[in-house]
Amino acid sequence: MTQPQPAAAKITIDPSFTVGPVRRRTFGAFVEHLGRCVYTGIFEPGHPAADQDGFRKDVLELTRELGVTTVRYPGGNFVSGYRWEDGVGPVDQRPVRLDLAWHSTEPNTVGVDEFAKWSAKAGVELMMAVNLGTRGIQEALDLLEYCNIDGGTTRSEQRRANGAANGYGVTMWCLGNEMDGPWQIGHKNALEYGRLAADTARGMRMIDPGLELVACGSSSPAMPTFGEWERVVLTETYDLVDLISAHQYFEDTGDLQEHLAAAHKMEAFIHDLVSHIDHVRSARKSSRQVNISFDEWNVWHMSREASRVPTGKDWPVAPALLEDSYTVADAVVVGDLLVTLLRNTDRVHSASLAQLVNVIAPIMTEPGGRAWKQTTFHPFALTSRHASGTVLQLAVESPLASGGVTADFTALSAVATFDREKGEAALFAVNRLARQALTLDAAVGALGTVRVLEAVTYANKDAYWQASADDSTSVLPAGNATVKADDGRLTAELPAVSWSMIRLAVGS
């Protein structure tokens, strides 16, 4: 079959035009007590790779390689029925509970102290969520006291007795989770939740005024509550919170070109959410700016068998749930979603890939066995490793693409970062065309003298190739020999359905 001629795209990279800083919290992830994310994911005593605390060292190593900076814990839907006290103290005395969110049994073997210890080993910042579903203000204050007060109070001395002499210093706190969702235990209307979140925030700030608090946004832009929910919740909480959450997942329903429009939809959602935030700011005549915590995002094939939860009398411990096998196309979409988060760094101040291990995750494990990287691991790890300094505002000329539902989105999606101190720039570029290559012509003279340090592309002739425990290395990011830099111009060929990273040394 004759391949179509490549389409042409142009960009201009100029360090004078900036969006904002590269925020390390953009590269966050999410660990929920869901499926095998915790048990046989990060924690598996008796595994050959387990350390003295029961944490899998192979998963810790992969987490560091992935470049994760923050981890949101312990949910997610799970948190709306969670009693944090169940997960502290002697393990053999902890109660076993039903987890209504995922129709499972929670043994409470891992709780706050264990996860704080895991976070320290992984080198990540702990982002804690409080239960505003079945619980409320006092329980949130108790948890904050337990986590952050060094000593001298009942809860802090309880933590010290449990083995942690100093507080954990958790600064980021989520005020509940997806509280507009009817699937959420204790879900509320916007006014009920807004007032509860405001009262909880006031109390928490009386303990520590410097906390960074995240109010619940609507569970999805597709929710009928989206927009009005944000208006009402922020009217109640605007002067008390720093961020409002955004959640969005994408699924390949069989139309590859439509699947590749995912990041275009994310960008539209971000712009809509910004407009709702800024409407409240204007109405309140506030000088504060609330920004976005995009603390759940990923490809999630939620209509497939892997996402069906147990039912009836079956309440298993750590069942295999939401264990999607990701394709090369899924990885390109994940890379593009991360490009979009960076491109909106002026308003997206934090983000969490959902989730980290086994559950719609870049890292997979076998109980008692191997750990391996899914396709989605690679664009995330490389972007986290090499995006630094400042996000630049690009001028883009691109042909348009159309999927089955989404029309006229740009075929080229790109973002560039510039680190003046390191003397490096990085360009992350996605070809969203399902069947056609793109030629890229970039004007880079404004950066100064440039030299290509590294150019890699992630693509495959079979866009539906999947990694597995037996073969996770046949398709990896590979060198792109078409990338050339000369006389202020950078040229490259980007295959169909591809994610690329081009690193440049920049001189005066």
Q: What is the pLDDT of residues 384-412, one digit of tens each?
A: 999 999 999 999 999 999 988 999 999 99
- Domain map (residue ranges) of the chain: 7-15+391-507, 24-386
d(CA 257, CA 235): 39
pLDDT digits (tens, 9 = 90+) for 179-208: 999 999 999 999 999 999 999 999 999 999
Burial (CB count within 10 angstroms: exposed 0-12, middle 13-18, buried 19+), residue 178? buried
Q: 296 an active-site residue?
A: yes
Question: What values do phi and psi take at 388, rounded to 5?
Answer: -155, 165
End-to-end CA distance of the chain: 47
Identify whether the C-beta of residue 455 lies closer than 8 Å to the C-beta of residue 422. no
Catalytic site includes residue 85: no
Residue among 32, 258, 296, 424 flagged as catalytic: 296
CA distance 41 to 506: 41
Q: What is the DSSP string of 417-431?
A: EEETTTTEEEEEEEE
Distance, in Å, from the CA atom of 50 to the CA atom of 365, rounded to the nearest integer, reads: 13
CA distance 15 to 11: 13
Task: Locate all alpha helices (DSSP H) within 252-403, ordered by sequence.
Answer: 256-259, 262-284, 328-343, 377-386
Catalytic option among 178, 230, 267, 424: 178
CA distance 276 to 228: 8
Neighbours of 224 (CB within 10 A): 9
CATH topology of domain 24-386: TIM Barrel (3.20.20)
Mean per-residue pLDDT for 286-292? 96
The residue count for the chain:
508
Q: 7-15+391-507 has which CATH code?
A: 2.60.40.1180
Burial class (CB in 10 A: 0-12, 13-18, 19+), 16: exposed
Q: Of the given ranges (13-27, 288-302, 304-318, 332-346), which has the lowest mean pLDDT?
A: 304-318
Q: At residue 396, what is the residue type?
A: V
Q: What pLDDT score was predicted for residue 2?
A: 61
Global pTM value: 0.96
